[in-house]
Chains A and B, each alone.
Chain A
Amino acid sequence: MNPPLLEAINLTRRYGDLVAVNDISFKINTGQCVGLLGPNGAGKTTTVEMLEGLVSPTSGEVRYRGEPLKDQMASAAGIMFQSTALQDYMTVREALVMFSRFYDEPVPIDRLVEQCALDNFLDQDSRKVSGGQRQRLLLAIALVNNPDVLFLDEPTTGLDPDARQRFWHLISSIQAEGKTIVITTHYMEEARVLCDELMFMHQGKILAQGKPDTLLSERFEDATVSLPNEVADSVLDEFKLAFPEAMASRNDQSTSITTSELNQVLGYLVGTGADLSQLDVSKPTLDDLFMSLAAEGDAA
């Protein structure tokens, strides 16, 4: 059986008295897109930097393809930092050429230009491109060595919604090629769209780990059904008798019913013959999960 692509074993990183990462272990397999989520200061970036080989753990170990991590990541990883800069007075093309010369078998520049849609600003000064264009350039630089694993540290922070969507599309296409991706983000929607495995970090610890749907279903059994108040008024008295466990709350416009028996509740409401054209069903999201875990972490 092949070892995982990356494995963190009891990783700890201290900065003086501060424990940035506290004894965490996990595995990342080839082809996975893993998202590290958590509030500011949770230890996401430090964890990623230890995986990248840029920061040494205080204790514990990172293994790459089963071997202790030394300097393999310089060739095997593609890294897109949260904040980075290129030398001044360098065009997009010159930046790509420079980075491609650092590697023995770089990806042809033309392929990167096509993949990351750089052709419209290839000869522009890299300092004068838009935010979205700049992120695409930095992604192209991260891909220049055809890496085994791509690290993206908050890649869409500061981008407008359109640029963000385009970037997600680009990442999805890279993911579809089977590339392993590790991404840190504050955007839950980004994590939902891109990641097939999530790790929630808080104060240096991993609070929860798993597939997005599994994490949600494990923590939230309930769904919320909303009805306009006038419709709810006509059915609510008898509904409460039929579903005494359901929780109802009300505002000026609508009444919300939180229940773990969604199918039965919907069946009952259909049976009442009430007008359900404005009925709305919502399930907890990753934002809810994030808030819930962060609150749990703070309380612990």
Chain B
Amino acid sequence: MIGLRRFLAVLAARNREFIRDRSSWAWNVIFPVLLVIGLSIVFSGEDQTRFRVGVLSYDTAHELSDQRYTSFLHVDDENEAIRKVERHQLDALIDGSTKRYWINETSPNGYVLDQLLSRGDYQREPVTGNAVRYIDWVLPGILGVNMMFASLFGVGYVIVRYRKSGVLRRLKATPLSAFEFLAAQIVSRLWLILAVATTVFIGTHWLLDFTVRGSYLLLFFVLLLGALSLISLGLLMASRTPSEELAGGLLNLATWPMMLLSGAWFTLDAAPRWVQLAAEILPLTQVIAAARAVMIDGAGFVDIAPRLLMLAVFTLVCMVLGARLFRWEG
């Protein structure tokens, strides 16, 4: 049975530690806002150098294949590819086997490609939809990456620091249980991450006017489960690690693949299939994909349920393992 008074005492201490540390505020709150603003400025212009065409099945005989400044991306999921045409993330989609092409009638790039494609014997499938700005697309990524660093370093690294400096040793000599201590660390970091993510979201929303098509409550739930999964991973990595040096290495080992492969900054559509599959294992991939689905596509709970289930299982496994492996001393 958890000792509520002991849990709250450690929770208050950890919260104070975060709130009084000015560098934490800078990295966790100010930096992500500046990053969003910076990216919105950098990517405010249109990409005018290339046309992006999705290909469901390739027809090399088509005259479009000879066009310069056109990149072809092989896609498997027709519905997902059509959604990208709607969002202006693909300028056209071609299916060589059924001789059809999809074009967004409101897209300038789509208009140009439509002129070329309509000359052939392909059936035209018009779609509509407003363009998704890069900054709209990347915001869930920035929130996710910020959450990842705050979780892994805010829990994992801090526990290892406590262990090395002797804080854990001192706490071990009291009636405080490992469960009470770990629960306080998780809850402290969870509410801080959610408060920071909400602040960053509101701040950037106010500055850059994002559109959230889905439910705010569902988006909050995605962020909550995502934060829990990443905190649990931090807990597991810190469960026995004796030194900050080793912890730093382990945390980098976890964060870099997620930074690059989770789709936070760029899509993996053009990456090899095995890389895309490997990326699906990463919790950050699930968080960002689910958040994007809610924000951009207006996805509901059922649409993202598989991703939420995967996050829930990942959280449970990491938390149970982390708690069982936890040692006060290295």
A and B held together in a complex: yes
Verify B13–A102 contact, CB threshold 8 A.
no
Verify A102–B176 contact, CB threshold 8 A.
yes
Q: Which residues of chain A in 53-108 are interfacial with respect to chain B, using CB atoms and an 8 Å cutoff? A: 54, 73-75, 77, 79, 81, 83-90, 94, 97-99, 101-103
> B308 → chain A, closest Cβ, in Å?
34
Partner of A90, one of B16, B162, B174: B16
Q: Among the listed stretches B3-11, B233-241, B256-264, which one makes contact with chain A, having 4 or more residues with CB under 8 Å of it? A: B3-11
B77 within 8 A of A: no
A52 within 8 A of B: yes
The answer for the CA separation of A74 and B175 in the assembled complex, in Å, is: 5
The answer for the CA separation of A75 and B176 in the assembled complex, in Å, is: 10
Verify A81–B166 contact, CB threshold 8 A.
yes
The answer for the CA separation of A97 and B5 in the assembled complex, in Å, is: 11
Contacts of B165 in A (CB 8 A): 85
Partner of B174, one of A85, A89, A97, A102: A102
B14 within 8 A of A: yes
Question: Binding site of B, secondary structure by majority: helix, strand, loop or mixed?
Answer: helix
B30 within 8 A of A: no
Contacts of A94 in B (CB 8 A): 13, 16
> B300 → chain A, closest Cβ, in Å?
42
Partner of B5, one of A81, A84, A86, A101: A101
The answer for the CA separation of A89 and B158 in the assembled complex, in Å, is: 14
Residue of A nearest to B19 (CB): A89
Verify A103–B17 contact, CB threshold 8 A.
no
Verify A87–B14 contact, CB threshold 8 A.
yes
Verify B173–A103 contact, CB threshold 8 A.
no
Verify B6–A102 contact, CB threshold 8 A.
yes
Contacts of A83 in B (CB 8 A): 166
B324 within 8 A of A: no
Verify B10–A98 contact, CB threshold 8 A.
yes
How does the 8 Å CB contact mask read for B141-179 relative to A, with 1 for contact and 0 for none? 000000000000000000000100111011011111000
Verify A86–B12 contact, CB threshold 8 A.
no
B46 within 8 A of A: no
The answer for the CA separation of A98 and B6 in the assembled complex, in Å, is: 8
Residue of B nearest to A142 (CB): B173
The answer for the CA separation of A74 and B170 in the assembled complex, in Å, is: 11
Query: With A98-B13, A102-B6 known to touch, is A87 a contact of B167 (CB < 8 Å)?
Result: yes
Verify B16–A86 contact, CB threshold 8 A.
no
Residue of B nearest to A73 (CB): B173
> B48 → chain A, closest Cβ, in Å?
51
Query: With A98-B13, A101-B9 known to touch, is A54 a contact of B173 (CB < 8 Å)?
Result: yes
How does the 8 Å CB contact mask read for A197-237 relative to B, with 1 for contact and 0 for none? 00000000000000000000000000000000000000000
Q: What is the number of residues of chain B that contact chain A, defined by CB distance less than 8 Å?
A: 24
B20 within 8 A of A: yes
Verify A98–B20 contact, CB threshold 8 A.
no
Verify B175–A98 contact, CB threshold 8 A.
no
Contacts of A99 in B (CB 8 A): 174
B47 within 8 A of A: no
The answer for the CA separation of A135 and B301 in the assembled complex, in Å, is: 56
B21 within 8 A of A: yes
Verify A75–B175 contact, CB threshold 8 A.
yes
Residue of A nearest to B5 (CB): A101
Contacts of B9 in A (CB 8 A): 97-98, 101-102
Verify A89–B17 contact, CB threshold 8 A.
yes
Contacts of A88 in B (CB 8 A): 17, 20-21
Verify B13–A85 contact, CB threshold 8 A.
no
Contacts of B172 in A (CB 8 A): 54
The answer for the CA separation of A81 and B21 in the assembled complex, in Å, is: 27
Contacts of A79 in B (CB 8 A): 170, 173
Verify B13–A90 contact, CB threshold 8 A.
yes
The answer for the CA separation of A102 and B3 in the assembled complex, in Å, is: 8
Verify A89–B16 contact, CB threshold 8 A.
yes
The answer for the CA separation of A169 and B17 in the assembled complex, in Å, is: 34
Q: Which residues of chain A in 143-188 are interfacial with respect to chain B, using CB atoms and an 8 Å cutoff? A: 145
> B7 → chain A, closest Cβ, in Å?
10
Verify A102–B175 contact, CB threshold 8 A.
yes
8 A-B pairs (CB sep. < 8 Å): A83-B166, A84-B170, A87-B16, A88-B21, A90-B13, A94-B16, A101-B5, A102-B9
Seen from chain B, the residues whose Cβ lies within 8 Å of a Cβ on chain A are: 3, 5-6, 8-10, 12-14, 16-17, 20-21, 162, 165-167, 169-170, 172-176
Nearest 6 CB-CB pairings of A with B: A101-B9, A89-B20, A85-B165, A84-B166, A102-B174, A79-B173
Given contact pairs A75-B175, A89-B21, enumerate 8 new A-B contacts (beta carbons under 8 Å).
A54-B173, A79-B173, A81-B166, A83-B166, A84-B166, A89-B20, A102-B3, A102-B175
